[in-house]
Amino acid sequence: MNFVVIAIFLLTKETVMATATGIRTGFTNALRIQESFTASLERKALRWLAQRMPPWVNSDHLTALGFAAQLGAGATFAAARWNRSGLVAAIACIALNWFGDSLDGTVARLRNRQRPRYGFYVDHMVDSFGASAMMAGLAISGFADWRIAAAMLVAFLLLSIEAYLATYTLGSFRLSYGKFGPTEIRLLLIAGCIRLMISPYVRLAGHNYRLFDIGGAAAAAGMLGMCLISAVAHTRALYRQEKL
């Protein structure tokens, strides 16, 4: 038994050391692709904000703010089950999430304080946990069926995995698909929250449906479709580059 424990310890140690060595060498920044509707205006706004950010506020503070805001959005969605004023707080959290999540990288680049590996890893791990919290809150809220919320989360994570693998294998990181990116999704969420304050239902073909069930199903299908299209395109590109 002791021999097994020692062997596992040594193997784990070797794996960690090999991983750490791999992280330190051979890293190249990926090409960022951002072609959404709001991309040009957003870049100008973020640069303006970054230039006026107090020196004591750094990119880590902004990342933490964006993460806390996304957790807050999940909590306020859940609270809106009992009081719709929670939707106002959810809108504020979504806006704060945009501020922190979008501005952290701009501040780092403007101040020449980039940490591309650390920033990429932390930012997208935070996004994954934050999206999980938000979808959990939406499922609790009753404004969307929990299965729809789960489908959106699964589709988001699959699309994220595809984007991260493409970043590693092709050297390009796509932030938008079909003119839609994170900012457009936030704007749609805010519009949906405003509509929920009036009524959580929409009438289609003579039947009442929950607004977020319709919107969530469309969002899940769209993200899954983009994931499949990108996966096929990237598989073909890699196959051409690495023919036997």
- Which candidate, 220, 165, 214, places its Cα nearest to that of 192? 214
Q: What is the pLDDT of residue 178?
A: 81
Q: What is the pLDDT of residue 56?
A: 96
Residue 186: band (very low, low, confident or very high) from pLDDT cuts 50, 70, 90: very high
CB atoms within 10 A of CB 144: 26
Contact 186, 98 (CB under 8 A): yes
Contact 59, 105 (CB under 8 A): yes
Helix (H) or strand (E) segment spanning residue 208 = strand 207-210
In the predicted model, what is the mean pLDDT of residues 186-203? 94
Judged by DSSP in three states, 172 sits in strand
CA gap 42, 150 in Å, rounded: 30
In the predicted model, what is the mean pLDDT of residues 153-164? 96
CA gap 157, 180 in Å, rounded: 16
Q: What is the pLDDT of residue 18?
A: 40
At residue 133's C-alpha, the angle toward residues 42 and 183, to 5°, is: 10
Q: What is the pLDDT of residue 27?
A: 63
The answer to whether residue 197 scores a pLDDT higher than 50 is yes
Q: What is the pLDDT of residue 93?
A: 98
| Tokens describing residue 122 | 């932390």
Judged by DSSP in three states, 235 sits in helix
C-alpha pair distances (Å), 7 with each of 21, 112, 180: 21, 44, 49
| Tokens describing residue 236 | 């073909």
CA gap 168, 67 in Å, rounded: 24
Query: Please, which residues have CB within 8 angstroms of residue 113's CB and are 6 or more apart in sequence?
Result: 58, 59, 107
CA gap 142, 121 in Å, rounded: 33
- Residue 112 zone, left/alpha/beta (φ > 0; ψ -120 to 50; rest): left
The answer to whether residue 167 scores a pLDDT higher than 80 is yes
Residue 26: band (very low, low, confident or very high) from pLDDT cuts 50, 70, 90: low
In the predicted model, what is the mean pLDDT of residues 130-146? 96
The answer to whether residue 8 scores a pLDDT higher than 70 is no
Residue 179 identity (one-letter amino acid): K
In the predicted model, what is the mean pLDDT of residues 131-157? 97
Q: What is the pLDDT of residue 29?
A: 78
Q: What is the pLDDT of residue 30?
A: 84
Q: What is the pLDDT of residue 70?
A: 97
CA gap 16, 242 in Å, rounded: 29
Q: Catalogue all structural domains in the chain, each as residue range(s) with its CATH number.
A: 38-151+178-219 (1.20.120)
Residue 230 identity (one-letter amino acid): S
Task: Kindly report, residue by residue over 75-96, the tens digit of the pLDDT.
Answer: 999 999 999 999 999 999 999 9
Task: Kindly report, residue by residue over 54-78, the tens digit of the pLDDT.
Answer: 999 999 999 999 999 999 999 999 9
Which is it for strands 201-204 and 207-210: parallel, antiparallel or unpaired?
antiparallel
